[in-house]
Chain A
Amino acid sequence: MVKKIYFQSIFFGFFLIKDALAAESGGMPQLNPEFWVSQIFWLILTFGVMYLVLSKLILPKISNNLESRKSQILENIEAAEKQREDSDAKLKEYDEIISKSKLEANSIFNQAREKALKDIGAKRDVLDKQIENEITEAEKEIDALRKNAPDKINKIAIETSSELLQKLIGAEVNNSSISAIVDDLFKRNGDKYYGN
């Protein structure tokens, strides 16, 4: 249906064109030379003026703009590249400094540790010696005390026994006989009393 209308319309149309062309005396207005000279004149005038203005004023400006933009972009790229290189170098420097300082810190730490260890060792030695000295002295004292203790105890025992006897019996007893008894006791029971 639509197709039919379409073909009909084209058919109709050709009739219309035919009628229209028949009505027109010249057919194509393009071939009518009446205004040819005028068209040539105005074409040369307008095109010439446009060409002059474009070539002398506008196009150089556009090319200038493009060139300056290009050069500026290139410059910027160069500057950016340079800055990148700079920053890379600085980063490297920074890394170096950091690694160097790390090493330094490590060595300082090690040194300090060694020193501290040494100090501690020395002090410990000194202290050990002191302690040893004190121990030996104390041992000596103890030994001395231990050696002296039986004598003193014997003496105390003798004196206490003589005084006890005097008070109990009321008579004076010879110290030498008491000491003989104490000595005898000491010889028999000394081990039990002094734990040697």
Chain B
Amino acid sequence: MAANPMSQFDVYRIGPEIKVGAFDISFTNASLFMILSTVSILLIFNLGSKKNSILPNKIQLLAELSYTFVSKMISDTAGSKAKPYFAFIFSLFMFVLFCNMFGMIPYTFTVTSHIIVTFVLAAFIFIGVTVIGFIKHGFGYLKLFVPSGVPAVLLPLIVVIEIISYLSRPISLSVRLFANMMAGHTMMKVFGGFVISLGIVGGWLPLSFSVALTGLEILVAFLQAYVFAILTCIYLNDALNLHH
């Protein structure tokens, strides 16, 4: 029902039920928008990289600006050692950005408003960063939990806090994105519902709010993708350049 602001997050099957063993991997509306996002990303960047003209056309400029934007972000936060992970962070940023932005179109589904999706991404990043850290530094990576210049008395407490903060990274990373997207879309739906329930007399105020919120949500959609990518870069920086 349209009045329920949470019904926009419902996942439903499109087409037949597909089962592999005990697992249901049916094609859903979430899958549809994942595919839409990835296909549009690939389309745009394929078009943007096809021709190499000295004066780039609009789509080439778009692709190259995104490329330099992400590469600058990585080199600023994680240094030059993070170059091999550029493609991953670029894909991550673009995927989250496009999923967020597709969610801004009315009647669409926001892939990133589901905790399971963001958590899988965050967990993959967390595990990957930890593995990279141990490969680069061996057990010296554990020094991450022992900051230098801390009085010996406080050290046990600090180490415990550091370990907890490290382990909570995937949770904070995934919940930040999921909660932002869900809250924003719910709020927009609620205000949209007010427009209908207050009718022609009082509906104008929530309608103007809806318009403002749409702008805000587009900003949030970009910002959360950026935050997601830049936090990944920061975690990667911890793993690559261990200076504590």
Contact partner of B10 (CB less than 8 A), chosen from A8, A29, A58, A63, is: A29
Are the C-beta atoms of A55 and B4 separated by less than 8 Å?
Answer: no
Minimal beta-carbon separation of B199 from chain A (angstroms): 11
Contact partner of B54 (CB less than 8 A), chosen from A17, A34, A69, is: A69
**B182 to A, closest residue via Cβ:** A30
Are the C-beta atoms of B198 and A9 separated by less than 8 Å?
Answer: yes
Q: Apart from A59-B86, A63-B67, A65-B52, what are 16 other A-B pairs with CB-CB below 8 Å?
A: A2-B205, A5-B202, A5-B205, A13-B197, A30-B182, A34-B11, A35-B24, A38-B27, A42-B31, A47-B121, A50-B38, A50-B42, A54-B42, A55-B91, A65-B64, A69-B54
Residues of chain A lying within 8 A (CB to CB) of residue B48: 62
Stretch in A19-27, A164-172, A178-186 touching the partner: A19-27
Are the C-beta atoms of A9 and B206 separated by less than 8 Å?
Answer: yes
A50-74 residues at the B interface, CB under 8 angstroms: 50-51, 53-55, 57-59, 61-66, 68-69, 72-73
A1-45 residues at the B interface, CB under 8 angstroms: 2, 5-6, 8-10, 12-13, 16-17, 20-21, 23-24, 27-32, 34-44
Residues of chain A lying within 8 A (CB to CB) of residue B3: 16, 20
Is A49 an interface residue, CB under 8 A from the partner? yes
**A12 to B, closest residue via Cβ:** B197
Docked Cα-Cα span, A11 to B206, in Å, equals 13
Q: Which residues of B contact A (CB under 8 A)?
A: 1, 3-7, 9-11, 13, 23-28, 30-31, 34-35, 37-38, 41-42, 45-46, 48-50, 52, 54, 60, 63-64, 67-68, 86-88, 90-91, 94-95, 111, 113-117, 120-121, 178, 182, 190, 193-194, 197-198, 201-202, 205-206
Find the residue from A8, A58, A59, A68 having the highest chain B CB count within 10 A.
A58
Contact partner of B64 (CB less than 8 A), chosen from A41, A51, A62, A72, is: A62
Docked Cα-Cα span, A124 to B3, in Å, equals 125
Q: Which residues of A contact B (CB under 8 A)?
A: 2, 5-6, 8-10, 12-13, 16-17, 20-21, 23-24, 27-32, 34-44, 46-47, 49-51, 53-55, 57-59, 61-66, 68-69, 72-73
Are the C-beta atoms of A72 and B206 separated by less than 8 Å?
Answer: no
Residues of chain A lying within 8 A (CB to CB) of residue B182: 28, 30
Q: Is the interface of B mostly helix, strand, loop or mixed?
A: helix
Are the C-beta atoms of B121 and A37 separated by less than 8 Å?
Answer: no
Minimal beta-carbon separation of B111 from chain A (angstroms): 8
Question: Are A29 and B11 CB-contacts (below 8 A) given A37-B23, A55-B91, A58-B45?
Answer: yes
Docked Cα-Cα span, A171 to B86, in Å, equals 160
Are the C-beta atoms of A40 and B30 separated by less than 8 Å?
Answer: no
**A4 to B, closest residue via Cβ:** B202
Docked Cα-Cα span, A169 to B93, in Å, equals 161
Minimal beta-carbon separation of A76 from chain B (angstroms): 9
What 3 A-B pairs come out closest when comparing CB atoms?
Answer: A55-B87, A42-B31, A61-B49
Residues of chain B lying within 8 A (CB to CB) of residue A10: 194
Docked Cα-Cα span, A114 to B139, in Å, equals 100
Docked Cα-Cα span, A53 to B41, in Å, equals 10
Are the C-beta atoms of B205 and A9 separated by less than 8 Å?
Answer: yes
Question: Are A41 and B91 CB-contacts (below 8 A) given A9-B202, A12-B197, A66-B64?
Answer: no
